[in-house]
Amino acid sequence: MNILVTGSSGWLGQTLVPRLARDGHKVIGLDPEAGATTSVVGSVVDRALVRRIIRDEGIEAIVHAAARHKPHIETHDNSEFVAVNVQGTLNLLEEAVAPGSKVDRFVFTSTTSLMISQQIRDGKAGGAREAVWIDETMTPLKPRNIYGVTKLAAEELCRLFNHLHKLPILVLRTSRFFPEEDDMAHAIAQSGENTKANEFLFRRLSVEDAAEAHVVALAKAKDVGFDTFIISAATPFNREDGRELIADAPSVVARYFPEYRSLYEARGWTMFDTIDRVYDSSKATRVLGFACRTNFREILEGLRR
């Protein structure tokens, strides 16, 4: 296939573009930043550029991973989020269904962040009695910042275009896979790799697994038609663990992984005292046949080695 990947110079794009190319696809990378995985330097906000790429390159599939992200809240105003995340998505969708277009599938990279309200974000400090179990049935969605609001609006555009034009579209709500420090780094004495390892229990995946999820979504889009999936490492927890995860997360983890304490102690690592949410990615396994290869057990195996 001829595939357009937006956000091709980003963390996901750098992994996804070569992954698709290895399967024999012709991949056109579009990004405002030049890079080894970017063919065209430009923005999804430029409707004429989007039209030209889709037409001239005979694009058959689109992976829309470009976005203004949460860290940009500190450096970009709200209108920039609307321009890129909403108008940019609309530009791609309208050109995908325009007369003469060969596009027959669309994968949208969304985020689990839009599922986190301020109440969930406040967690135990806000009086939560148990960890929130998060799957695709959660309603209503109350994003707590402009990033979440615009990504949710973009999801709704995807739903609308599938309804109006029958364009197969899969929405992937990915959990954390970026390499930067995150907003739970304060929760334990150590951060970095320790924090990321902990998060594989409930809200993280590797960038390689994120890329693979998009490969699978492209293959399954026409069969599924339209749907939304949480993409995250499979959690070992279940709903009944909710109260104890808030009160004493290390004890819950030790029940599932008795060896984790000694492996952590050898490195001077610690577990979060409390876990306030759990992402359930089982729908992606049931419907798409996709499951992340890297999970907390794999992390522990790596520490043992």
Domains of the chain: which residue ranges?
2-186+202-236+280-293
Give the percent of the chain with pLDDT over 90.
87
- For all residues of the chain together, what is the average pLDDT? 94
Give dist(CA 194, CA 210) in Å, integer: 20
61: three-class secondary structure by DSSP: strand
Give the range among 26-30, 67-71, 257-261, 294-298 with minimum mean pLDDT.
Answer: 67-71
Within 8 A by CB and 6+ apart from 126, the residues are 119
Each residue's pLDDT tens digit, 93-148 = 999 999 999 999 999 999 999 999 988 888 655 567 899 999 999 999 999 999 99
Give dist(CA 200, CA 297) in Å, integer: 9
pLDDT at 119: 85
Fold adopted by 2-186+202-236+280-293: Rossmann fold (3.40.50)
Tokens representing 295 are 């999970």
Residue 100: which of 62, 57, 46 has the closest Cα?
57
Cis peptide upstream of residue 32 (ω within 30 degrees of 0): no
In the predicted model, is pLDDT for residue 254 greater than 80? yes
Q: At what angle do helices 88-96 and 47-56 cross, to 10 degrees?
A: 30
Q: Tell me, what DSSP letter sits at residue 38?
A: -
